[in-house]
Amino acid sequence: MSASFMFPPSGFGPGSQIGQDDEELNYLAMPSGVHVYEPHVPEIDDPATMAATLVFLDELQEQAQAWRVGDARLLPRHNLAPAAGAAVNDALGEGEVSARLEDAAGLVEVQETVFAGIWALRAYGGPQGQDMREQVEVSAFPKALLARAFPPRRARPDMATDMADGVVNAPAILTELFDRSENWHPRSSPHVVNLSLLPHTPEDMALLEASLGRGRLAILSRGYGNCRIEATATPHVWRVRYFNSMDTLILDTIEVSFVPEVACAAVEDIADSAARLHEICAVLREENASPRGTQA
């Protein structure tokens, strides 16, 4: 074999496509920003703040340990002193899922903590929203939000009167979704319509959105990119859209379910959260028992 074949021919390989107006190779940016749990123990110097923080976190750990599928275990925290409340916030941190619900009864903001299945809820009421209550809930997903996510069921819209030129698949999709919604029960499996794979026109999308309506609850799940979930005005029907880390839509679906699984904590997640809380409480208890201000 000729020795000349041992080397790549000139004009090929990395860098060979660079011209005078293009001085470097440009690669597609890779996704990033995946959240990873890191244990964090708050620094507390005041003995009273330490005691109140430990009482709250111990009770929360016990609630998480005792949690069973279907439970919603609530622990009020608006009665904590400001310093203890800040220490609890520091210990719990912020996780991947957040939610916002607004209706005639007021506004509810929810943030999952770094402990999956443990949710920090803040509810505002009163004429100007001046009444604020805070609590922590241990559940797969906060039940209070689901109870208020959808308005009362309304009659099916008359799609024939709203049908514009260009509508193709929307009537069939809507008939399927309304049937699933009206026949939904807690044991129903999630039913997903994948709009990314289903041919549809802009007029189809306009009719789908107008007919399903807009609900009261919006959820954002951050992880490998974002998942944005919105309740429609049709009970148990959710718009679920997935975006990559560059905020490009990669999957567009409509789901009929109790709540989309991507927003929920699994049984194993909550058990793991109980174990992590136990570790943090043990560290705080050890720090509380050790003499302060001494040097080795």
Render each residue's pLDDT in the chain as its tens digit; 296 residues.
444 444 444 554 555 555 555 555 554 454 445 555 556 788 898 999 999 999 999 999 999 999 999 999 999 998 899 999 999 999 999 999 999 999 988 999 999 999 999 999 999 986 665 688 999 999 999 998 999 999 999 888 887 766 778 999 999 999 999 999 999 998 999 999 999 999 999 999 999 999 999 999 999 998 767 999 999 999 999 999 999 988 899 999 999 999 999 999 999 999 999 999 999 999 999 887 776 544 43
The CATH number of whichever domain residue 117 belongs to comes to 3.30.1370.140
Residue 61 belongs to a domain = yes
- Domain count for the chain, please give it: 2
Q: What residues make up the domain containing 57?
A: 33-140+265-284
Answer yes or no: do 136 and 269 share one domain. Answer: yes
Answer yes or no: do 110 and 170 share one domain. Answer: no
CB 149 within 8 A of CB 101: yes
Q: Please tell me the distance from the alpha carbon of residue 128 to that of residue 45, in angstroms, as a whole number.
A: 37
Q: Residue 32: which residues within 8 A CB-CB, separation 6 or more?
A: 245
Residue 48 belongs to a domain = yes
Q: Please tell me the distance from the alpha carbon of residue 195 to that of residue 60, in angstroms, as a whole number.
A: 41
Question: Widest CA span of the chain, in angstroms?
Answer: 89
Q: Please tell me the distance from the alpha carbon of residue 60 to that of residue 277, in angstroms, as a whole number.
A: 8
Residue 7 belongs to a domain = no
First-last CA distance in the chain = 74
Residue environment code for 232-241, b if the CB has 16+ CB neighbours within 10 A, otherwise e: bbbbbbbbbb
